[in-house]
Amino acid sequence: MKAFRYILGLIAAFTAIIALLVGSIEIAAFSSRGFYERQYEKNNVLASVGMEMEDLMEVTDYMLDYLQGKQEVLSVTTTMWGQERDFFNDRERAHMADVAQLNINAITVMWCCAASSVICLGALAASFVLPRRRPEHDFLSVLCRCVITGTLVFIFLLGIGAVIVSADFDHYWRIFHRIFFTNDLWLLDPSTDMLINIVPLNFFIALVARCALLFLFFILILLVPSVIYLVTIRRKRRRRRPHLPPSLYLSLLMVCSLALSLAAPTDCLSEEDILGLETAPEISADAAILIERSTGTVLYSKNAEKSEFPASTTKVMTALLTLENCNLEETVDFTRTAIYALTPGASHIGMTVGEQLTVSDCLYGLLLPSANEVANALAEHVSGSMPAFVELMNKRAAELGCTNTHFSNPNGLHEADHTTCARDLALILQACLSTPNFIRIDSTKTYVIDPTNLVDESRPMKTTHRMLQSDSSYYDSRVICGKTGHTPEAGGCLITYAESNGLELICVVMNAAQPGEYEDTKRLLDYGFSSFSMTSALDLNQLTGTNDGICPSFYTSSQIPLYKLSDTQTIITSDRSLMSYTLEKNEEQIPVMVHLQAGNLALSSVPLEPVIQEDNPLTLQGFPASYIQTMEKAGENYLPIIILCAVLALALVLIYTAVRNTPERILSRRQKTTRIFKNVNLKKIKIK
């Protein structure tokens, strides 16, 4: 009966604590509008999404209502960078539907735990119908002991879990999503998904701290009355200074430790501390973006989602659809519509009605001299008509993730509703670069179209991209290909693909005063190639080097191999993380510390020690893992499993000790000892 009572009490305490934990999360996440507003200001969210605070808070209120089931559809039209658009895209809506369902499940668990706690408390109270002679045997005494023991075990488990998770947050964050989500919709891209921009990592850290402090407050409400009651009944019984059991001291110590850990500053950097942003160049163009080709990592952005007129940069989409749907040897017929549907002054190569070219020749005429009648002819060849081709253009743009693009023609001649943005153009060029034959054609400096069925003369052509022209003052050997564009309404537009030392960059500049698009592109390329370099996320050994007089070689006490580090260097990793490191030097200018960071997250600070290369104890064991998994761990790490097993064993010991040391059991043992002592015949004992 006694054990059954304590089991009921522990179940009631545990379920109540779980209900309080879930309730703390709900209150912290949904009760305060001011919390979101403060976090938006602190993390400079308004600049990231191009919104006013009032509009962003309206989106936030709607999103919170949706997560609580008060709204059926997650769709909010708002103003971003001066343009009206829906804040959420389809991927974000699908992910938030999963989050809303998870929130509903959490609330269900909370009420189930609360009901279970009430039922167990009722059963525990019913077991005390008969009056007890000693105050330690009453209902409140048992309940208080169970509350203290349950709280101690729960906080201890929670603390151990927090330590394990903090050691490799990214790993356990992914495990959490794999457990609670059946898809990969939670992997959001900051360049396309606005949701991840309004809730950066610093926001989640602040939200977790807020939840933990609120939960700690509720725990103290349970603990303090329990401690006071047990102290009071002990004082009444013994009439002397109360002696608290060790479990009470340990419980209070765990609560204080948790509070101190929450109050400690987090190791995160502000946006101003991110390497490279403060050294980014100033450009004159109205909009621009610089991305790394293979990962899509954004290295520079200025009004990247602002709607602009693309002019002839539209032709890269025309080229993409042609390459995806046609064979290069197919014959293209030039119709009257294709040739004469041009505005006065539009660029062309002088095609006549009924003339024929191969698709290959058309692509050269499209991309090098930017011939508009060729764009029209290719559109009719691919889709049968230009309106049908325009529909295909917009459909393909949506498939590539373009959110601010609407094409009205295949050539880029000015129309009021023919718009795109720098980010979308970068996505289109990124797709083109992976399409066979595009780079070969677009990187050609000069080309000659042979005589055709109607014209006996050849047509020599050259690229309009000055950074590809060796006789131009803007020539840059790093540039591989690109496309120009200009109309009075669009200004100077330029998209460029360049490569240097294994790093491939895509640069888009829009609405610049000619020839400012070339000057801005050169500045951005210089910035990209001087500030960033490419490496694999799991192969930082590419930086391994010896002491060549440029930078001494070092290894860390954690057995990291030798690295040849520059004073300031940023690494774009293949897992879409942006990692950077800086060296801290002593008075003798010898590096003593390396600081790693990914975006605005500070990863770690590792001390450096000089060593002679032949004495370097390089092994394949013990490589440290960071937030972006800079290198693979050799073998499996069983430490978290061992810690969890030890915690569970300790919890069982504490529960057993609490049950064994109840007043009833102590009194029973004393009575048994007394009976044994009374059975001893003292007269038979001889005392010498």
pLDDT in tens, 389-398: 999 999 999 9
Q: Are residues 414 and 484 in the same domain?
A: yes
Mean of the pLDDT values across residues 633-653? 49
3-state secondary structure 333-376: ECCHHHHHCCCCCCCCCCCCCCCEEEHHHHHHHHHCCCCHHHHH
Mean of the pLDDT values across residues 597-603? 53
Catalytic residue among 226, 307, 312, 553: 312
The string over 304-327, giving b where at least 16 C-beta atoms fall within 10 Å of a residue's C-beta and e elsewhere, is bbbbbbbbbbbbbbbbbbbbeebe
Q: Are residues 80 and 14 in the same domain?
A: yes
**Residue-range definition of the domain harbouring residue 236:** 2-263
pLDDT reported for residue 644? 54
453, part of any domain:
yes
**Tokens (6 digits) for 240:** 């002397």
HSE, side-chain direction, 13 A CA sphere, residue 368: 22
Mean of the pLDDT values across residues 620-628? 27
Q: Are residues 565 and 609 in the same domain?
A: yes
SS3 620: coil
Among candidate residues 615, 647, 665, the one where a domain is terminated: 615
CA 35 → CA 27, 53, 107, 422, distances in Å?
12, 13, 21, 33
- pLDDT of 539 strictly over 50: no
pLDDT reported for residue 283? 92
Among candidate residues 509, 534, 559, the one where a domain is terminated: 534
Q: pLDDT-based confidence at 619, cuts 50/70/90?
A: very low
23, part of any domain:
yes
Tally Cβ neighbours within 10 Å of residue 90. 10
Mean of the pLDDT values across residues 383-409? 95
Catalytic residue among 24, 301, 370, 580: 370
Q: Are residues 430 and 553 in the same domain?
A: no
Q: Are residues 209 and 321 in the same domain?
A: no
Q: Are residues 160 and 217 in the same domain?
A: yes
**Mean pLDDT over the full length of the chain:** 75
273, part of any domain:
no
* Residue given tokens 């912290």 in the structure block: 28
Q: Rounded to 5 degrees, what are φ and ψ at 493?
A: -120, 145
Distance between CA 298 and CA 488 in Å, rounded?
29
- 376: domain CATH number? 3.40.710.10
Total domains, the chain: 4
Q: Are residues 351 and 252 in the same domain?
A: no
Q: Are residues 10 and 159 in the same domain?
A: yes
Global confidence as pTM: 0.47
668 among known catalytic residues: no
Q: Are residues 512 and 553 in the same domain?
A: no
pLDDT reported for residue 281? 83
312 among known catalytic residues: yes
Q: Peptide bond preceding 242: is omega within 30 degrees of 0, i.e. cis?
A: no
Q: For 115-144, what is each residue's pLDDT tens digit?
A: 888 888 888 777 766 554 444 456 777 778
- pLDDT of 187 strictly over 80: no
Query: Which amino acid, residue 366?
Result: L
- Four-point Cα dihedral 40, 45, 49, 54, nearest 10: 30
Q: Are residues 586 and 646 in the same domain?
A: no
Question: Which string of DSSP letters, residue by residue, matches 514-574?
Answer: TTHHHHHHHHHHHHHHHHEEE-BTTBGGGG-----SSS--EE-TT-PPPB---SEEEEE-T
Distance between CA 466 and CA 476 in Å, rounded?
9
Q: Are residues 218 and 328 in the same domain?
A: no
Mean of the pLDDT values across residues 383-392? 95
pLDDT reported for residue 161? 77
* Residue given tokens 């109540």 in the structure block: 16
488, part of any domain:
yes
Q: pLDDT-based confidence at 8, cuts 50/70/90?
A: confident
688, part of any domain:
no
Query: Which amino acid, residue 455?
Result: V
439, part of any domain:
yes
Among candidate residues 513, 534, 555, the one where a domain is terminated: 534
315 among known catalytic residues: yes
DSSP-derived letter for residue 226 is H
666, part of any domain:
yes
More confident call, 583 vs 655? 583
Query: Could you give the maximum distance between any two Cα atoms of the chain, in Å?
Result: 140
Q: Using the Cα atoms of residue 143, residue 149, residue 151 and residue 153 in order, give the sign of their dihedral.
A: negative
223, part of any domain:
yes
Sheet of 532-534: strands edge to edge?
532-534, 568-572, 578-585, 591-598, 601-607
pLDDT reported for residue 146? 82
pLDDT reported for residue 407? 96
Catalytic residue among 315, 360, 522, 626: 315
CB 453 within 8 A of CB 355: yes
Among 298-312, 375-389, 540-554, the range of highest mean pLDDT: 375-389
Task: Count Cβ atoms within 10 A of the Cβ of residue 577 and give its class: 0-12 exposed, 13-18 middle, 19 or more buried.
Answer: buried
Q: Are residues 169 and 54 in the same domain?
A: yes
CB 508 within 8 A of CB 289: yes
Q: For 64-115, what is each residue's pLDDT tens digit?
A: 888 888 888 888 888 887 778 888 888 888 888 888 888 888 888 888 888 8
